[in-house]
Amino acid sequence: MKSRIVLLGPPGAGKGTQAEILEKELGFTKLSTGDMLREEIRNKTELGEKAKIYVESGNLVPDEIVIEMIKKRIRDISGAILFDGYPRTVKQADALAHITDIDLAINIDVKDEVLINRIAKRLMCPKCGAVYHLVNKPPRKDWVCDKCSTNLYQRDDDREETVVNRLKVYRQNTLPLINYYSERNKLVVIDGNKGTIHNIFERIRVALEN
Ligand code: ADP
């Protein structure tokens, strides 16, 4: 089984949702730079205050900041790691290659129309990072997290104007990572347009076992 994996894909592709399942079912530790940054912003730390303007406008936080964040967290983890939302630039991918060997990058491929619809109906748990969708994956109780009973919220950067910028930033900075991992024979592409959440997870599991 592969033990160091990267989840790639545009905003709204389902990376966070699949990361949660991979963590629960296969014992990965999830490292999500998006979750880490949102927590820093919520706690009004120095790093959070610096990152806020980038996150809220849908732009990327400078490489140095996220690379440092990942380096710090990775030190305490011994088992299998799943990177969600990192790397997002070639510079971040190079930095990661110096920290650890990556076994596989999984690109969840989803069309723009589907992404925009998903993001507009997305709900999140501020405490445990669980992701919901008003139609495709509603919480059992309205606006309350199934796992930790915290009130759910809609992310500030999920507003339509910001989403359009996030997609543009994704194409410019993150799309090149598909070639980056493909050239290193580490890329698997999963069609995330169709199939249930569970079905997509099963396809990821197969890729991890091969
Ligand atoms: P999504 O994949 O849905 O766009 P994330 O939760 O991964 O959302 O990220 C939200 C925001 O946090 C990004 O738009 C960006 O501002 C910032 N961010 C997250 N990860 C990184 C990263 N690796 N490098 C730079 N900025 C990041």
pLDDT band at 161 (very low <50, low <70, confident <90, very high): confident
Does residue 85 line the site of ligand 1, with CB under 6 A? yes
Crossing angle for the helix pair 176-183 and 90-99, to the nearest 10 degrees: 40
Q: Report percent pLDDT > 70 for the chain.
A: 100
Q: Over the stretch 173-185, which tens digit does the pLDDT of each residue have? A: 999 999 999 999 9
Ligand 1 neighbour 37 (Cβ under 6 A): yes
Per-residue pLDDT band for 42 (boundaries 50, 70, 90) equals very high
Q: In what order do the strands lie in the sheet with 29-32?
A: 29-32, 81-84, 4-8, 104-109, 187-191
- Report how far ligand 1's centroid is from the alpha carbon of 198 (Å): 24
pLDDT tens digits for range 101-132: 999 999 999 998 889 888 989 999 999 989 99
**For a substitution probing ligand 1, which of 84, 159, 166, 169 has the most ligand atoms within 8 Å of its CB?**
166
Active site residue 140: no
> Could you tell me if the CB of 92 is within 6 A of ligand 1?
yes
Atom of ligand 1 nearest to the CA of 9: 2
Cα separation of 20 and 120, whole Å?
A: 20
The CA 80 to ligand 1 mean position distance, Å, reads: 22
